[in-house]
Structure 1
Amino acid sequence: MFKAKHRLTENSFNRTRKLPFSVLLTYFLNLTKGSYQQELDNFFAVIQSNPAPTQVVTKSALTQARKHLSHTAFINLNHQVVNDYYTDHPALKTWKGFRLCAIDGSKLRLPNEPDIIETFGVHTGRESQKDCSLALASVYYDVLNHIPASILFMPQNETVQQPIWNPLCPTIYPCLIEATMHSGYIVCIRQKNSPFVCEPNQ
């Protein structure tokens, strides 16, 4: 069910390969620091209990397999982890019964791919830089429990015209949100899943 929901076509990951859906997803959940090939060799050495890293999958095969995996798989997994934490954690830190959260964003330079350019557009770089696509990555962060509860990517020039909690906030716990207009956000406060304040922060 999870695989069917988060693959890009009905035929993706149907054949038996060295990078099936579960293995590919597990690989990308690791914090990779080295080159693709080195990380792949080390990864398969661990999961196959090999004494020394050997080449099992090439970085080209990884690139091809990645094209069949939807980014929504990682969004779904993150929501599950966050929701389980808020549901089961016995010692949640709150501020007067509210979850205290902050939202901020950073600009990210994106790869030069046709689908990315279509969605995010092209922005003129500096004199020493090529034109590129830029995204605004907005992070919704629980500042008392140190949890990055949600992340939203949007075109860099797209100002948030609706309360940012609508696409970002998990809904299972009352929350107080603080945001700043310099990043294109709207300040809003929610109690019992209903907004009662929503105004720009001048």
Structure 2
Amino acid sequence: MMKCRSKAALIADTLNSLSSFLNSEHLLPHARILNNSFSRTRKLPLSSTMFFSLFRHGSTISEDIDFIFQKMSAPPSKNAVLHRQSILNHDVWKAVLKKQISLFYGAGLAQNRYKGYLLVAIDGSKVMLPESPALNQIFGGPLNKACRTKEELIAPSAHISAAYDPLNCQILDFIMEPYNVSEIPMMREHLDRLLPFLEGKKVLILADRYYGSVELFRWCALHGFDFLVRAKNNFFKDLRGEIPEAIQDARFTVTLNKPWIKRIKDPEIRQSFQEDPDVLLRLVRNDYSYQQEDTAIRKKDKKRYKVYKHVDVHAEYFTSLPAGKFSREE
């Protein structure tokens, strides 16, 4: 019981520290677009503006104002809220996220590990944005024969990406970019931004098929991190084809030639490959099955019901994890 109370008190202290940071002047430089933004005492200070953005859930701004500011005798007007949001530099959320990570991991509230490894999973997705000519120009969207230019887009789309600690349920970094920005540069932005936090820790980077690259593998090696990345079908296809299908756990070497090395943009990684052009990889193959849950609509009464589909998967992975500590099945 004492342990439960101690942990509850630790969580409360950590959240109070985060709340104090959100209300402190240290946040102002990160929140300003204009030099004098949020400098005067108003009914809607920076912290309230941020809380409004965080806790919106209604269908209209007026509905959210009534809910979020219900305890105020004279809630702010719709125009006041829109004005405050228009002068908020949204890079402020990067500072808040950095502070949150520092507090939760520093206090020992996010200490779950897998065999001593801090797991960092990276993935992205395309998301639809509200209809807006300005957002069309900034973010773009899928173009095709029916929609050839940004101006013709009905609704814009963005590419979002997150670095996530799945064992501690913590978002470590988040990026929102235009539709046509690819996964790999966003991943590198995550890793570069998180490097001060990750350095000195035992880290395992987890990623899906579109993130595998020799640059990522060498970056991990240079910083002492391990990786586990699902293999795209055509990635090192010839070298993988030389390994018989019956062999499900094997090692092979990728040797970069001079044109390949020359195309690498990161100067540190390019210099590393000039000194040592070989990348030793472990290829792990495995097959597994699962039941995929979905919903269908019944014709007679239009009601939804659950359906299950049996799925068989053949997956291949590139990893730097040693076979002696991590088996193929694991």
RMSD between superposed Cα atoms in Å = 3.3
Give the structure 1 partner of residue 207 of structure 2: 179
Q: Normalized per residue, which structure has more helix?
A: 2
Matches within 5 A, 1:80-159: 80-89=99-108, 92-111=111-130, 112-114=132-134, 116-124=135-143, 130-159=153-182
Q: Bigger relative contact order, structure 1 or 2, given CA contacts below 8 A and separation 6+?
A: 1
Distance 1:80 1:186, change over 3 A: farther
Residue 79 of structure 1, CA deviation: 1.6
Superposition deviation, residue 127 in structure 1: 6.5
Residue number in structure 2 paired with 1:201: 231
Question: Which AA in structure 1 matches 2:207?
Answer: A
**Residue 44 of structure 1, CA deviation:** 1.8
Structure 1 stretch displaced more, 63-72 or 120-129: 120-129
Deviation of 1:137 after TM superposition, in Å, equals: 0.9
Match of 1:66 among 85, 88, 93: 85
The amino acid that maps onto 1:89 is G
Residues 125 and 86 (structure 1), Cα distance of their counterparts in 2 relative to 1, 3 Å cut: farther
Secondary structure in 1 aligned to 2:126? strand
Question: Which residues of 2 match residues 2-41 of structure 1 at below 5 A?
Answer: 2-41=27-66
Runs of at least 5 residues in structure 1 that lack an aligned partner in the other structure: none
Give, as a single letter, the amino acid of the residue that structure 1 aligns with 2:169. Answer: H
- Rg: which structure is higher? 2
The equivalent residue for 2:259 is none
Give % identity: 24
Which segments of structure 1 move beyond 4 Å, counting only runs of 4 or more? 125-130, 191-200
Q: Give the whole-Å Cα distance in 2 for the aligned partners of 1:162 and 1:186.
A: 12
CA shift, 1:39, in A, is 1.9
Does the 8 Å contact 1:160/1:186 carry over to 2?
Answer: no
User: How much does 1:109 deviate?
Assistant: 1.8
In the comparison of the two structures, how many residue pairs are matched? 193
- Which amino acid in the other structure matches residue 39 of structure 1? D
Normalized against structure 1, the TM-score is what?
Answer: 0.76
Where does structure 2 lack aligned partners over 5 or more consecutive residues?
1-25, 233-330
TM-score (norm 2): 0.50
